[in-house]
Amino acid sequence: MHAMTYALEGLGTSPFPPDVQEHCLDLDGKAAPSARGSGGSNIQLELEGISLSFGGVTALNNVDLAVRRGEIRAIIGPNGAGKSSLINVISGVYRPDRGRVQIGGNSYAQVPTDKLARLGIARTFQNLALFKGLSVLDNVVAGRAYTVRSTFLGQIARVGVARGEEVDAHDRTQRILAFLHLENVADRLAGTLPYGLQKRVELARALVAEPDVLLLDEPMAGMTATEKNEMAGFVRATRETYGTTVVLIEHDIGVVMELSDRIAVLDYGRKIADGTPEEVRADQRVIDAYLGVVPENEDGAGI
Amino acid sequence: MVSIASDLPVSSTHPRWLIRAALLAIAYLVIPFVGTSYLFEAILLPFLALSLAGVGLNLLTGYAGQVSLGSAAFMAVGAFAAYNFNLRVEGLPLVASIVLAGFSAAAIGIVFGLPSLRLKGFYLAVSTLAAQFFVQWALTKFGWFSNNSASGVIDAPPLAIAGIGFESAAGRYLFALTIVTVLTFLTLRLVASQTGRNFIAVRDNETAARIIGVPVLRTKLLAFAISSFIIGIAGVLWAFAYLRTVEPAGFNLDRSFQVLFIIIIGGLASIRGAFFGAALIVVFPLALSRLGAFFLGDIFDSGVLDMSQRIVLGGLIILFLVLEPDGLVALWGRSVRRLGSVFGRS
């Protein structure tokens, strides 16, 4: 129901006539006017012609996507449109059949997952991927794993580099826990927390790595309206406080429209629109594919 | 595998180190003076050796999530390596032989841990069976390992450190206790470190672990190495301090299962659990034979004892897996908390 309401609101307030939007789309997002008015030079993350299929099923078809430094970039689309596949390609979980991923000047056919954190990319998962047997604190401390240089012998002895790393990781963790209001549950086992809080712990674990780019795969799925607002607040605060670039997949169109600087719309593995929330909201193809016609996905969205 | 809790706090009123210090004080200052030779030989020595093996396997299976059925093989490697280092290297102190035995077991552990880079769960468990059969075969086949002894059964060298002998039952107990205490202390520090967190991260979600920068392959092999090191030294204690003989048959598949049962019953991913589980596994057959003889008299011969042991133990494992997957240590934690709240109110 939400999607429908927002979509109709959006139709009423469209600032651009349809032909202008067509034009913007043809420029593939790169040259399209940005909400923050920055040029195309500071691209932090770029996908070029990404195609991916599983067996005979095409998940992504020649998708381009450019993400600018410091923006909140949303990817929306109906179920099965390829949104999560896109995040999985960026984080190296999937290897695309064609196309390349550019991260900070390096170009990859498959992003090396084990070096992802060092490349400045952190992510959360659509289905929770916390370490259930660790406390909230330890889950977040674990997010510093990529910085660890000490060996297990040094860690047992708690001397030198190992000691410094441990203290540093705990300091940073405490700051992130405070930032996301998780101090009260720091000692709880992560698996025992309610769903909404577990999502927030995942965000904390990603943030403690101090990434340049944060990939959020449906951070608000399954949350109540209050929890969604909280989470949106945290995402916004993350950008304000740490200058983090955010790539976000979300089903709740209302949240996305409010939160994002630019939105890419996927449908059947193709990118059908890319632009500011206003542009996307007014795009006829988007309305046809997603906003106007709501298939029965508002309840089971993304599950 | 079910989600596994880490150690639960014993009680909020007593700091944990105080309880540990008290236990150690009893173990070092009281038991050696009041213990009978039966207590040392039949209960405490096998308990210590199996506890240490449980601690080692728990690192691998409980913490790092890699199921292994090869524990007895690594114990055998440790025992035979220590025997051979002691025999063939002139003037090597016993402690050095034991440490080198640990390294030998770690090396074999890494080799048999390689399949874990591709295999998971049940398939990995089956592949670790290869270690079990291969090591036992090699030790029986090549006489060199047992110094070409005709029977294949060899006497363990006397336990001595810096000229001080530990040959009495109490002496061997103190020797084993010291090694177990030191290794357990180091293991407790390990599981609280980044490496310990990496183990659990790999166990709970390998993809997420890789994405946050945990070196997954290295972590798995490290778990195999450290675990095998500890289990290898447990094997030395089993052969040198408890049995005082070294023979391949003592390290068969039954022993591997015994160590696995110890950590399942005691509690996965809990160092204390290994001690609880080992205590149950050691004391239970003795208690059963006493009880059986008391109630049933002559009918309860060794054949019946053996059978009833297997039946009750099998039943216990099923019960634990169904009712208390976190093991004795979780039961213990709950009872202590309940008692604490009862006393707290009164």
Q: What is the pLDDT of residues B252-266, one digit of tens each?
A: 899 999 999 999 999
Please state, in angstroms and rounded to a whole number, the distance separating the CA atoms of residues B120 and B330: 26
Could you tell me the two tokens for B199? 């183990």
Q: Per-residue pLDDT averaged across A139-164, rounded?
A: 90
Within a 10 A sphere around the Cβ of B163, how many other Cβ atoms?
5
Is B203's CB within 8 Å of A133's CB? yes
Mean pLDDT of A220-238: 91
Tell how far CA A215 is from the center of its chain.
3
Give the span between the Cα atoms of B266 and B332, in whole angstroms.
Answer: 10
Q: Give CA–CA dist A88/A60, Å, rounded.
A: 11
Least confidently predicted of A60-74, A255-269, B293-307, B317-331:
B293-307
pLDDT averaged over chain B? 87
* CA separation for the pair A231, A181 (Å, rounded): 11
Residue B201 banded pLDDT, cuts 50, 70, 90? very high
**For A133, which of B6, B207, B216 is closest by C-beta distance?**
B6
Q: What is the pTM of this model?
A: 0.85
Distance from CA of A189 to the nearest CA of B (A): 8
Which of A129, A162, A189 lies nearest to residue B208, judging by beta carbons? A129
Q: Of A161, A207, A138, give the one whose Cα is nearest residue B200.
A: A138
Q: Which of B165, B170, B166, B143 is nearest to B154 (CA)?
A: B143
Bridge partners, residue B305, by sequence: none
Q: Do B213 and A191 touch (CB under 8 A)?
A: no
Looking at residue A134, the DSSP 8-state letter turns out to be S
Q: What is the pLDDT of residue A189?
A: 92
Cα–Cα distance measured from residue A81 to residue A58, given in angstroms and rounded to the nearest whole number:
10
DSSP code, position B325: T
- Chain pair A-B, CB pairs under 8 angstroms: 105
- Give A88-146 pLDDT, tens digit per residue: 999 999 999 999 999 988 899 999 998 999 999 999 998 889 999 999 999 999 999 99
Q: How many helices (H) and strands (E) in chain A?
A: 11, 10
pLDDT in tens, B68-86: 999 999 999 999 999 999 9
Contact between chains at B208 and A131 (C-beta distance less than 8 A): yes
* Chain B: residues touching A (Cβ < 8 Å): 3-6, 186, 189-190, 193-195, 197-198, 200-201, 203-205, 207-216, 222, 226, 269
Do the Cβ atoms of A142 and B216 come within 8 Å?
A: no
Question: What domains are defined for chain B?
Answer: 16-345 (1.10.3470)
Kindly indicate the confidence band of residue B14, based on its pLDDT and cuts at 50, 70 and 90. low
User: What integer pLDDT is reported at residue B277 of this predicted model?
Assistant: 93
Euclidean distance between CA atoms B263 and B270, whole angstroms: 8
Cβ contacts of B319 within 8 Å, gap of 6 or more: none
How does pLDDT run across B25-39, given as a tens digit for each residue?
989 988 888 888 888
A155·B3 Cβ contact <8 A: no
ipTM of the modeled complex? 0.83
The residues, ordered by sequence, that sit 6+ positions from B244 with a Cβ below 8 Å of its Cβ are: B155, B156
Angstroms from A197 CA to nearest CA on chain B: 18
What would the two tokens of residue B40 be? 């040392």
- As a residue count, chain B comes to 346
> A158 and B189: CB-CB below 8 Å?
yes
Any chain B CB within 8 A of the CB of A51? no
Sign of the alpha-carbon dihedral angle for B169, B170, B175, B178: positive
Residue B346 has a pLDDT of 52
Residue A20 is encoded by which pair of tokens?
């202008």
Of A116-130, B44-58, B177-191, B300-314, which range is least confident? Answer: B300-314
Residue of B nearest to A130 (CA): B205
A170/B contact by beta carbon, under 8 A? no
- For A119, name the nearest residue in chain B, comparing CA atoms only: B213
Structure tokens at B70: 């090869």
**Beta-carbon separation of A156 and B186 below 8 A:** yes
A150 interfaces chain B, CB cutoff of 8 Å: yes
pLDDT of residue A296: 52
Q: Which amino acid is at A233?
A: G
Residue type, B25: A
pLDDT > 70: percent of chain B: 95
Answer yes or no: are the C-beta atoms of A123 and B172 closer than 8 Å. Answer: no
